[in-house]
Amino acid sequence: MRILTGALLALLAGPACSAATPDFSGDPETGWVYVQRHCVGCHSLKGPRSFRSIAQEPGMTGTALMVWLTSSEHRDMPHLILKPDEAQDVVAYILSQGKDTGK
């Protein structure tokens, strides 16, 4: 009976948990446009502060990037205020840089 109850609770909680998870469905190409306008002055395409190196940090997730981009203050960064869709696009772009393209 306990197993059945636990399975039923997990089944019912599944959709609620999924709904609470942020959807990182931003557009990497639109994110690239934002990055070109606001970020490449400091974040080169290669090196320790590149988006590729950020995306490849162990444990880096869309959630971690969203928190970072939308928190109020960053040491050594200008105070950018991104709209939710801009943040989604930038996160999608950064995460796309961590993918191994074989190049």
What's the pLDDT score for residue 99?
77
For the whole model, what pTM was predicted? Answer: 0.69
Model confidence at 78, pLDDT cuts 50, 70, 90, reads: confident
Residue 14 clears pLDDT 80, i.e. is over it = no
Question: In the 3-class helix/strand/coil scheme, how is 54-70 assigned residue by residue?
Answer: HHCCCCCCHHHHHHHHH
Least confident residue range of 8-17, 34-43, 94-103:
8-17
**Mean pLDDT over residues 7-32, rounded?**
56
Structural domains of the chain, ranges and CATH numbers in brackets: 24-97 (1.10.760.10)
With contact defined as beta carbons under 8 Å apart, do 63 and 22 qualify?
yes
Residue 18 clears pLDDT 50, i.e. is over it = no
Residue 15 clears pLDDT 70, i.e. is over it = no
With residue 50 as reference, give the H or E element that holds it: none
Helix (H, G, I), strand (E, B) or coil at 47: coil
Average pLDDT of the chain to the nearest whole number? 75
**Mean pLDDT over residues 33-41, rounded?**
90
